[in-house]
């Protein structure tokens, strides 16, 4: 019995190598930047036109494209704006509660609790399964 790869087709080897690299890279796709659809295809959630790809390789190729990179900048700009807005509202709420004389948990404690929760979430594996939350 031999475990040696038969033949030395370098193009085949390159294809395998390329796929391996793409697979490795694909695990670095942030959870919120791609969506695994019910039919097994991947959708890019960064681009506003939501392009759909058959394989994760194709998605990886798309992610390297100029259009995607431009959309990525807007995506994170919007995200940062959203985060700022949330922070602003939270601060306003805090000030309002303070003025009303309500007792609130220490902000640092609250922050630490949130960081702990987030750290726990971070350890979860990449899962871009299509789970649309409806509220």
Residue with Cβ nearer Zn ion (56 or 68): 68
Q: Pick the piece of the chain touching Zn ion (CB under 5 A) from 7-15, 52-60, 64-72, 99-107.
A: 64-72
Nearest to 44 by CA among 75, 18, 79, 21: 75
**DSSP track, 14-31:** HHHHHHHHHHHHHTTS-G
Residue with Cβ nearer Zn ion (77 or 114): 77
* Residue 44 sits in the site that holds Zn ion (CB under 5 A): yes
Number of residues that bind Zn ion (CB under 5 A): 4
Helix (H) / strand (E) containing 102: none
Residue with Cβ nearer Zn ion (5 or 67): 67
Among 34, 35, 56, 68, binds Zn ion (CB under 5 A): 68
Q: How many CB atoms lie within 10 A of CB 43?
A: 17
* Residue 56 sits in the site that holds Zn ion (CB under 5 A): no
- How many angstroms separate the CA atoms of 22 and 15, rounded? 11
Which positions lie near Zn ion, rule CB under 5 A? 44, 46-47, 68
């Amino acid at each position: 019995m031999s475990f040696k790869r038969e033949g030395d087709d370098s193009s085949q080897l390159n294809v395998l190598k390329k796929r391996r690299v793409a697979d490795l890279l694909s695990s670095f796709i942030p959870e919120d930047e791609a969506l695994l659809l019910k039919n097994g295809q991947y959708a890019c959630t960064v681009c506003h036109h939501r392009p759909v790809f058959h394989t994760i390789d194709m998605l990886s190729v798309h992610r390297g494209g100029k259009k995607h990179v431009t959309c990525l900048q807007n995506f994170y700009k919007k995200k940062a704006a959203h985060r700022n807005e949330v922070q602003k509202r939270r601060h306003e709420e805090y000030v309002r509660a303070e003025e009303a004389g309500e007792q609130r948990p220490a902000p640092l404690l609250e922050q630490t609790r949130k960081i702990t929760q987030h750290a726990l979430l971070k350890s979860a594996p990449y899962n871009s399964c299509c789970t649309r939350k409806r509220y």
